[in-house]
Amino acid sequence: MAVRWAWGDSVPNIERVYLNWENPSSTPRNPLSFSPHFGGGLFSRVLVVDPGAMTNESEILNSAEAVLITHEHFDHFEADRLFTAAARNPTLDIYTCRGVARHLAQLSDRLHEVNNGDTFSAAGFEVSVVGEKHHLSHPDFPPVDNIGFVVDDEVFHPGDALTILDAPTLLAPVQAPWMTALDLIAYLREIRPVRAYAIHDGLLNDWGLKVLESILS
């Protein structure tokens, strides 16, 4: 999935966060808009997170100033899409972990490899990096690199990991081959965010979404 933040020069407000859902046929389970827009006007700054192969909105990167990639799995990272966007926008910057950066070396100085504990500014937002590895998904294979991003000390996107962090707003992965309902419930109870929004639901059909909603409720 991809998450796009957009707000003006005033203090960030969670009601100005807009999600692009992995599964466009599903009904969003929060008050946010499916189509990214702010107040019917133009975005002032745009930051995109994880525009992978399951992000169906072809225009998602058109207005982006920067892209954050948590890890290399196809639903979070699509190299050709980033190469195309970079060719179209000569000022586009991409921030990611080492595992992804090795696939994007040709982007040169527009590619920024970041690690746990790093901080940087991107598209007018202050971003902190948290985490190092993907949640364990197979007993025979070590987890790939995975970093989470905290935007403006407000919104936390953990990627495919259950990283514990004190963040007001959590974008919570809610379904994956590496995750159980017990994992999700324990994660939400551990972090206890002020607000949480479901992401990473692209493998669920309508029945699966109903089951998920019943669990969350």
Supply the pLDDT for residue 14. 33
Supply the pLDDT for residue 119. 97
| Residues of the chain scoring pLDDT < 50 | 1-43
- pTM score over 0.95: no
pLDDT digits (tens, 9 = 90+) for 14-33: 333 333 333 333 333 332 22
Supply the pLDDT for residue 59. 79
CA separation, residue 77 to residues 31, 70, 87, 100, 186 (Å): 27, 8, 17, 8, 27
Supply the pLDDT for residue 34. 26
Supply the pLDDT for residue 44. 65
